[in-house]
Amino acid sequence: MVDKDLERFDRLFQRFSGTGIDYIFGYGETDRGQETYIRYLSGTLIDYSLIVVDVKREELFGIVNVMEGERAHKYSWLDKIYIYGGSLEGDYINLKSRNLVDSIKEVIDVESKIGIAFNSVSASFIKTLESIFSKDNVVDISSELMDLRLRKTRYEVERIKKAAEIVDYGIYESSKKVVEGITEKELALHGMCEMYRAGADKVYDYLIVASGDTSANPHWRASENTIKVGDPIVFDYVAAYNGYYGDETRTVFFKRIYKGELRKIYETVLDAQVSAIDIIEPGVKASDVDKKARSIIESAGYGKYFIHSTGHGVGLEIHEKPRLSKNDDTVLDEGFVITVEPGIYIPGLGGVRIEDMVLVTSDGHRVLTRLNKALTIL
This prediction has a pTM of: 0.95
Q: Strands 244-253 and 93-94, how do they pair? A: unpaired
Average pLDDT over residues 115-123: 94
User: Nearest CA to 232 among 201, 202, 263, 197?
Assistant: 263
* Mean per-residue pLDDT of the chain: 97
CATH number for position 177: 3.90.230.10
* pLDDT score, position 343: 99
For residue 189, CA distances in Å to 156, 178, 217, 247, 276 come to 28, 12, 20, 17, 32
240 in any annotated domain? yes
The pLDDT value given to residue 324: 99
Same domain, 178 and 311: yes
Q: What contacts 280, CB < 8 A, 6 or more positions away? A: 289, 332, 338, 340, 358, 360, 364, 365
pLDDT in tens, 290-317: 999 999 999 999 999 999 999 999 999 9
Same domain as 175, residue 312:
yes
Q: Check: CB of residue 224 under 8 Å from CB of residue 185.
A: yes
**In the predicted model, what is the mean pLDDT of residues 181-208?**
97
> Mean per-residue pLDDT for 107-133?
96
- The arithmetic mean of pLDDT across residues 3-19, rounded, is 96
Whether residues 198 and 73 share a domain: the answer is no
Q: Which of these, 45, 47, 44, 41, lies nearest to 29 by C-alpha position?
A: 47
Q: Give the closest residue to 332 by CA, choosing from 150, 161, 158, 153.
A: 150
Given 149, 180, 204, the domain boundary residue is 149
User: pLDDT (tens digit, 9 = 90+) per residue, 144-162?
Assistant: 999 999 999 999 999 999 9
Reduced to 3 states, what is the DSSP secondary structure of residue 263?
Answer: helix
Q: Using DSSP bridges, classify how beta strands 59-65 and 80-84 pair: parallel, antiparallel or unpaired.
A: parallel
33 band by pLDDT with thresholds 50, 70 and 90: low
23 pLDDT more than 90? yes
Share of the chain above pLDDT 70, in %: 99
Mark whether 26 and 49 lie in a shared domain. Answer: yes
Using a 10 angstrom Cβ sphere, with 0-12 exposed, 13-18 middle and 19 or more buried, the burial of residue 345 is buried
Neighbours of 9 (CB within 10 A): 17
Pick from 34-38, 136-140, 146-150, 351-355: least confident: 34-38
307 & 173 share domain? yes
Angle between helices 142-150 and 6-16 (to 10 degrees): 140
pLDDT at 313: 99
- Residue 357: inside a domain, yes or no? yes
Domain count of the chain? Answer: 2
Q: Identify whether residues 110 and 160 lie together within a single domain.
A: no
Query: Do 64 and 199 reside in the same domain of the chain?
Result: no
Residue 30 pLDDT class (50, 70, 90 cuts): low
Tell me the residue range of the domain where 97 lies: 6-149
Each residue's pLDDT tens digit, 62-105 = 999 999 999 999 999 999 999 999 999 999 999 999 999 999 99
What's CA 106's distance to the chain center, in Å? 35
Confidence band, pLDDT 50/70/90 cuts, at residue 259: confident
What is the total residue count of the chain? 378
